[in-house]
Structure 1
Amino acid sequence: MISEITPCVLVAVPVYNEEGHIGGVLGRVSQYARDVLVVDDGSSDGTPGRLLDAARELPGLRVIRHRHNRGYGRSLRTAFTYARRAGYRWVITMDCDEQHEPESLPRFYRAIAQDDADIVSGTRYPRGFDAGGGDAAPPDRRAINRLITAQVNAQLGLGLTDAFCGFKAHRVSTLGRLGLTEDGYAFPMQLWARAAALGLRVVELPVRRIYADPNRRFGGGLDDPEARLAHYRAVLEREIAAGGAGASGAIEAPGLGAPMVSA
């Protein structure tokens, strides 16, 4: 099931307190990916122990652990830095809460092989936000996604149908040029603004819409939908005002062994 393209592809999975999902997800991912990186963002549950067990069983698994919880965007940036330093051509990011199906990885490999994109972005709404299919999204998440996707398209000239899907493939050679610095859940706002500023090629790939736990929290003030929408808009508008430019803030990952610890 592992494609001939996979030696140049890293599958990166950011996790935070996912002890209930991590073993099953990694077992499924390993059927479709040769090299897998988990970035543990300072989990305080049993996730670190589960990862140690998985690393003993899965030879292609590497682990970077943040000593403290740094945020979703920071975990992705850690993965991007690792991918660049390790010489991968592509990095595919996917979540560990069972919203993203590892069985879709071969479809990403086929899209990568077309070599006509710099970002292959999953979309859970390929036929629009009101179309059926898949699990029903929590109303606040769907509403925010609809509003932000429309704003991203209008202000950046993109044609996205889903601005927030974390199931993506990134061409590694473009990542260093983006200078990404955003640590939190507004990371996609910065990504899209800077990708548009650089003229990166974006294609979307339909993926199944899954909400195994529609009550998952964002934490802090972002659990309030109005505050979350305002935060996303503030980051997007800041990036647009800056012209999508900014100094790189990607952290350097430590050496390539497993497990690893980062600041």
Structure 2
Amino acid sequence: MRVLLPLLISQAQGMEMYREHRIGVVVPAYNEEALIGDTLSGIPDYVDRIYVVNDGSKDRTPQIVGEFQKKDGRIVLINHEKNMGVGKSIIDGYKAALKDGMDIVAVMAGDNQMDPAYLPDLLDPIVEGRADYTKGNRLLGPDYVRNMPKFRYIGNMILTFLTKIASGYWHIMDPQNGYTAISKKALETIPLDKVYTWYGYPNDLLVKLNVYGFRVLDVPIPAKYGREKSKIKYTKYILKVSWLLLRDFFWRLKEKYLLYNFHPLVFFYIFGILFLLVGTGGVLFAFYQKFVLHRAVLFYYLTLSLLVFAIGLIMFLFAMLFDMEEERRNYQKR
């Protein structure tokens, strides 16, 4: 019923589009022969175009998509000769959707992990002007995360916190969730060719959306895990994305609070980080002197290091507070 309702409304109005908006869906696919058919079969009829991006698959993924094309004229197959990353696949799908004049573009992975019944929940806030980018959130409570592997849940929480700091979207959760929808205006504004092309692309995209002032909204969507097998090596993934977020954090400060519009919070962040590093280094050096070299540590040296660390922590927390306030004000302006 959830999927059929938008279609019934559009038919009653004599239109084939979703609430007077043309909808495109990007389906990144890499070696998904087992599930790509189920994914394509489940995409609702109110979707105008389906952009399947075959990212250098070694199996029968492109052949299966080709068979579906014969039955469904909405499907557009984009082939990468070699594997270029899920981010690159989505970017190429976005570009194709822009050329075709889609008003909103959603992303549904080729492993059938994204329930099409929740697609209207992602589309409606954009249609109604309440958001420019919507994303699924599997972390709102135990009912939503019970199907998520524990290691994946812990890693997700770590990256959620780091992404909040890097992106400035303090209200968002589950930034790794790839079930998203984005407006045409946002796609035309952000530099798509500069978005990270591998698994850290949703985090990187959030940073860019924040710099350009777009509204992001979380949508509660339960985790869905079935026959699919994750291709992510999580230890390497977390380390790689953490480094990406660190670079994105300083890029956002430069672009948003120095070049586009000056705000003193950038200095609170920078000096807070410096004081934290110096204070931490001083405490570690004092412990090294005491417990490794067995030398007497001057009390004032350790006290000074702790004081510097405390000042740095306070400055960093004040910077976060200013950042949150700036985000709140930007949402109120809209």
Normalization by structure 1: what TM-score? 0.83
Q: What do residues 152-202 of structure 1 show as CA deviations (whole Å, max 9, x unaligned)? A: 223433111211111101112212432233110011121111111112101
Mean Cα deviation higher: 173-182 or 197-206: 173-182
- In the TM superposition, residue 97 of structure 1 has moved relative to its aligned partner by 1.2
SS in 1 for 2:152: helix
Tell me the secondary structure at the aligned position of residue 208 of structure 1: coil
Equivalent positions of 1:120-159 (< 5 A) are 120-127=134-141, 131-133=142-144, 135-158=146-169, 159=171
Task: Report how many residues are paired.
Answer: 237
- Larger Rg, first or second structure (1 or 2): 2
| Residue 50 (structure 2) aligns with | 36
Alignment of 1:238-253 (within 5 A): 238-243=247-252
Change (3 A) 1:41 1:61: same
User: Please, which of 219, 225, 235 is the counterpart of residue 226 of structure 1?
Assistant: 235
Give per-residue Cα distances to partners, 1:45-83, cap 9 Å, x unaligned. Answer: 011110110000011111111111110000011011111
Give the secondary structure class of the aligned counterpart of 1:59.
Answer: coil
Find the counterpart in structure 2 of residue 68 from structure 1.
82
The C-alpha deviation readout for 1:138-162, integer Å capped at 9, x for no partner, is 2222111101111222343311121
> Which stretch shows the higher mean deviation, 52-61 or 190-199?
190-199
1:231 corresponds to which letter in structure 2? K
What's the CA shift for 1:91? 0.4
More off after superposition, 14-23 vs 109-118: 109-118
Question: Is the CA contact (8 Å cut-off) linking 2:166 and 2:245 kept in structure 1?
Answer: no
Deviation at 1:30, TM superposition (A): 4.3
Q: Are 1:235 and 2:238 matched, yes or no?
A: no
Moved more, 51-60 or 154-163: 154-163
CA-atom RMSD in angstroms: 1.9
Does structure 1 conserve the Cα–Cα contact (< 8 Å) formed by 2:195 and 2:205? no
Change (3 A) 1:155 1:12: closer
Deviations 1:90-137 (A, max 9, x none): 10011121210112223333233211111011111123xxx2335422
Q: How far apart in 1 are the matches of 2:102 and 2:49?
A: 10
Q: Which amino acid aligns with 2:206?
A: W
8 Å contact 1:118–1:201 — kept in the other structure?
yes
Shift in alpha-carbon separation, 1:44–1:147, aligned structure 2, 3 A: same
SS at match of 1:236: helix
Contact map agreement 1:80 1:172 (CA 8 A) in 2: no
Unaligned runs of 5+ in 2: 11-16, 256-334
- Counterpart of 2:128 (choices 114, 129, 152) is 114
* Distance in 1 between residues matched to 2:178 and 2:133, nearest whole Å: 12
In structure 1, the residue matched to 2:59 is 45
Question: Using a 3 Å threshold, how does the CA distance of structure 1 residues 144 and 134 change in structure 2: closer, same or farther?
Answer: closer
**Residue equivalent to 2:68:** 54
1:97 aligns with 111
The one-letter code sitting in structure 1 at the alignment partner of 2:163 is V
Taking a change above 3 Å as real, the CA distance of residues 213 and 41 of structure 1, as seen in their structure-2 partners, is same
Check the 8 A contact 1:134/1:210 in 2, yes or no: no
Q: Is the 8 A contact 1:32 1:102 kept in 2?
A: no
More helix per residue: 1 or 2? Answer: 2
Q: Which residue of structure 2 lines up, in the alignment, with residue 192 of structure 1? A: 206
Q: Would the aligned equivalents of 2:25 and 2:47 in 1 still touch at CA under 8 Å?
A: yes
Secondary structure of the residue aligned to 2:144 is coil
**Is the 8 Å Cα contact of residues 22 and 48 (structure 2) preserved in structure 1?**
no
Structure 1 gaps of 5+ residues are 246-263
Contact 2:52 2:75 in 1 (8 A): yes
**Matched letter for residue 172 of structure 2:** L
CA distance in 1, matches of 2:41, 2:236: 37
How high is the sequence identity, in percent, across the aligned residues? 25
Counterpart of 1:146, as a letter, is M
2:111 touches 2:228 (CA, 8 Å); kept in 1? no
Q: Distance in 2 between matches of 1:214 and 1:229?
A: 20
Are 2:18 and 1:5 aligned?
Answer: yes
d(CA) in 2 for partners of 1:215 and 1:35?
27
Residue of structure 1 equivalent to 2:184: 172
Task: Verify: 1:216 aligned to 2:230, yes or no.
Answer: yes
